Chains A and B, each alone.
Chain A
Amino acid sequence: GEDVEQSLFLSVREGDSSVINCTYTDSSSTYLYWYKQEPGAGLQLLTYIFSNMDMKQDQRLTVLLNKKDKHLSLRIADTQTGDSAIYFCAETMRAAGNKLTFGGGTRVLVKP
């Protein structure tokens, strides 16, 4: 199957770390992505990880991939109010022609 699951909501205090979790079901995933969507805007690619990696760091963002458990997480260090948005996890699978399948999104609210 192509299910990608995320929790609906996360509240975090400014300056703390945020961790957004995602699970997927298909072990043939090739790339896994994190997108950010601010109100009224499109989807902005934040980062991605290839399925043969287990970690990727990009400034304040750290992606962890546990292939055994089919679990992906995005950690945002020193969360700022500008990080308030909806975050989408997505996967591509060679078997599915590399189309992108999205989770339902996690709404992150950063409180001052």
Chain B
Amino acid sequence: DAGVIQSPRHEVTEMGQEVTLRCKPISGHNSLFWYRQTMMRGLELLIYFNNNVPIDDSGMPEDRFSAKMPNASFSTLKIQPSEPRDSAVYFCASSLRQGAFTYGYTFGSGTRLTVV
């Protein structure tokens, strides 16, 4: 398996532009997570899905952020409009949830977003 695949690896955009980050989870995993990493705030969970359904989006900073998972093999995180304070590394992770337990959290390589 190629692991969790994120694209693009790097994104530089101007303030006010729309940004879309993409993630392909590991085949067979049924949970998907979006995290943001900054020096100031460390790793923050933004949103996660179980079986393509959003379960907890309480970490999404504001309405400018939205995430979708149209099928088991693809998810997007969109920021519209983007602001300089959104600059961070965004990680996608997937895992297998069976009953009450979750196994094998695996992270992608991340997308480094710079908003100028």
Interface, chain A (partner B; CB < 8 A): 30-31, 33, 35, 41-45, 88, 90, 92, 94, 97-105
Contacts and interface: CB of A to CB of B under 8 A. Distances in A.
B106 A99 contact: no
A42 B109 contact: yes
A87 B91 CA distance: 16
B56 A99 contact: yes
B91 A98 contact: no
B58 to A, nearest CB: 10
**For the complex, would chain A's binding face be called helix, strand, loop or mixed by DSSP majority?**
strand
A89 to B, nearest CB: 11
A100 B42 contact: no
B2 to A, nearest CB: 13
A102 B42 contact: yes
Nearest to A103: B42
Given A88-B43, A105-B42, A100 B93 contact: yes
Given A42-B109, A45-B105, A99 B48 contact: yes
Which range holds the interface residue count of chain B?
A: 20 to 34
Nearest to A101: B45
29 contacts: A30-B100, A30-B102, A31-B102, A33-B105, A35-B107, A41-B110, A42-B107, A42-B109, A43-B93, A44-B107, A45-B104, A45-B105, A88-B43, A97-B50, A97-B55, A98-B31, A98-B95, A98-B97, A98-B100, A98-B101, A99-B33, A99-B48, A100-B33, A100-B45, A100-B93, A100-B105, A101-B45, A102-B43, A105-B43
Contacts of B107: 35, 42-45
Given A45-B106, A97-B55, 19 more contacts: A30-B100, A30-B102, A31-B101, A42-B91, A42-B109, A90-B105, A94-B100, A97-B48, A97-B50, A98-B31, A98-B100, A98-B102, A99-B33, A100-B93, A100-B105, A101-B45, A102-B43, A105-B42, A105-B43
Interface of B: 31, 33, 42-43, 45, 48, 50, 55-56, 91, 93, 95, 97, 100-102, 104-110
B55 A42 contact: no
Contacts of A100: 33, 45, 93, 105
